[in-house]
Amino acid sequence: MRYFKSSILGLFAFLLPLSILAQEANYGNQHLFDDFTYRQGNVYRTASGKPGPEYWQNAADYNLEVTLDEKNHTVSGDVTIHYTNNSPETLDFIWIYLEQNRFTENSRGTLTTSVLGSRYSGDVEGGFELSNISAKTETGTSSKHIITDTRMQLFLDKPLAAKGGKATIKMNFKFKVPVEGMDRMGRLETEAGTVYAIAQWYPRVAVFDDVVGWNTEPYLGAGEFYCEYGTFDVKITAAADQTVVCSGILQNPKDVLTKTQQDRFAEAEKSDKTVYIIKPDEVGKPVSQVKTNGTLTWHFKMENTRDVAWASSKAFIWDAARMNLGEGKSGVAQSVYPKESDGNGAWSRSTEYSKASVEFYSNTYYPYPYHNAINVAANVGGMEYPGVSFCHFQSKGEDLWGVTDHEFGHNWFPMIVGSNERRYPWMDEGFNTFINHYSTVAFNNGEYPSYTDKPRTLVRYLTFENREGIDTSPEVANARNLGYTAYYKPAAGLFMLREYILGPERFDNAFKSYIRHWAYKHPQPNDFFNHMENVAGEDLSYFWKGWFYGNGNIDMGITSVEPYQGNYLITVENNGQIPMPVELQVIYTDDTTENVRLPVEIWQRGNSWSHLLKTTKEVQRVVLDPNKMLADVNILNDTWNKL
């Protein structure tokens, strides 16, 4: 029986085309489908990509009181940090970030910036002046500390207890506001006064997590931030002619706003149309001020946030409108900008843009958690903070929509989903660029274009000899590559995953579930990979490995279309390093069409596959990836035509 069976198989094999024999015998591509990292779960992070039953993260609540000195361009004051150690470890010390120390001549960031400069160049006349540093626990107080560049190691009198130990950290600080603040903060001179955009402005605790312990990467430039969540109570004292906006809700409007401004703000909270709080012709005039001399203290509060930022100027025009956030919740979109930014094609539409952006993300992905969304015109190209964005004061039209939409999209990644931007910028920039596409398509009946749905526009970069992978550290990525490694390539990957591999329904279920489970927590790349796979029900190792952790490319093509026993054999080939499912459109001579989908597993057997197309019609044309969804680096072999 065994011999007979073998003989029949041998005869059958003799009759089959060689391409089919090859695909039955070759399993040489299995390595492309194998797991590529240690993705098993534990009690902190489950294999299904959720926070585990013993997941923990530490917390930090801040009380900040500062004064803005316009004459000397300084911010000075004090911070009190109430720190809670929820980890299962005792802590001998607490690491504090001192990010203003980046603006000194000898900082690591300064010394690692090219002499030609970059987007992340910064002034060198700043840095923190610190005093009265202390850390108090139940057992005593310590002031012992070591400052290294942008970090401080603050030692405790005795180890801080695990699972609930508390410490109170206090210090006074002062710094000069840089003009050029690495495109994240700074000051802008306008005709009516200086615009101060203030960020990375207070000493804050570093994240201690279950993955690497203390996250103490220095603040160099391109790498952004990783922060604990907590409540912020902020008091900012400035000259009485200053208008101050800040993350969070203004606690004392009657003390700092005129009665007219209070009434206008109340109107804006109910209006879908933009309402002026300070009109252009009121800027710098007594009518816009509670008092004409002395100072005012603006008091803000924000809960469950990882950061706060603020801006101040006597040059601000201020307008606002209601945001409809779903589930009966509303908020207020606001914009502040100097007269140099005013105009119908410019910042007078900023609040409209902010409102539309936040409403879209809130109703599509996850409810917006904050009451305010404030857009500030500054000398910053574009930078995001919870509830506050800094965008360039000269942006207009499509550019202003794009940067506004992008920066407010960051409230979801990484403000709500608190990933580590300094290590994994693609988990915030790439995710955000991806959702920006859908927001842009939805805005005002497609007023502005989006190109994220055209992954083939990346081919020039993907075939660039000096390209770098998504997993390249932002600090070492070539400046010309960072936009691709952190923004465009990961966004294109998510687009292909949604529109081509999984389909919108399966992708959206998984993506929204990821946001929901990791809101206000600290996911790692493997948490995202595992959760997407578990909810979508698909092993995507080949895709994560190839697109996110590799530097290869997609290159599939049609080798031949041949008559075969009254039907057709369509042979496709994989010449790239990233296997993908195959979408084919068959066009018959009678102009009818048929779509064929082949699963990605065909490439486990090798780089060629023949598909039997059963039909009684005559094939005129076959097109691979007919909707142009893939970043295929060679489109010349994507179409077969009958001669």
* pLDDT value, residue 121: 86
Q: What are phi and psi of 344, to 5 degrees?
A: -60, -35
Q: State the pairing for strand pair 59-69/213-214.
A: unpaired
* pLDDT value, residue 6: 36
Cα 235 versus chain centre, distance? 29
Cα angle value 488/490/492 (rounded, 5°): 65
**Which positions ≥6 away from 310 have C-beta within 8 Å?**
198, 201, 234, 236, 244, 245, 246, 247, 300, 388
Residues of the chain under the 70 pLDDT cut? 1-27
* pLDDT value, residue 635: 94
Q: By the 8 A CB rule, do 191 and 341 touch?
A: no
**Which positions ≥6 away from 76 have C-beta within 8 Å?**
66, 67, 69, 172, 173, 174, 175
461-465 own/partner pairs: CB under 8 Å, 24+ apart: 461/488, 461/489, 462/489, 462/553, 462/631, 462/633, 463/553, 463/633
C-alpha 187/C-alpha 195 separation (Å) is: 5
**Which positions ≥6 away from 219 have C-beta within 8 Å?**
97, 99, 101, 102, 109, 149, 150, 200
* pLDDT value, residue 9: 33
C-alpha 362/C-alpha 369 separation (Å) is: 9
C-alpha 420/C-alpha 215 separation (Å) is: 9
Tokens of 245: 């906006």
pLDDT tens digits, one per residue of 591-613: 999 999 999 999 998 999 999 99
* pLDDT value, residue 17: 54
**Coil/strand/helix, residue 2:** helix
> How many other CB atoms sit within 10 Å of the CB of residue 114?
9
C-alpha 201/C-alpha 95 separation (Å) is: 16
**Which positions ≥6 away from 102 have C-beta within 8 Å?**
109, 110, 122, 150, 182, 200, 219, 220, 221
pLDDT tens digits, one per residue of 471-482: 999 999 998 999
Q: State the pairing for strand pair 151-160/165-176.
A: unpaired
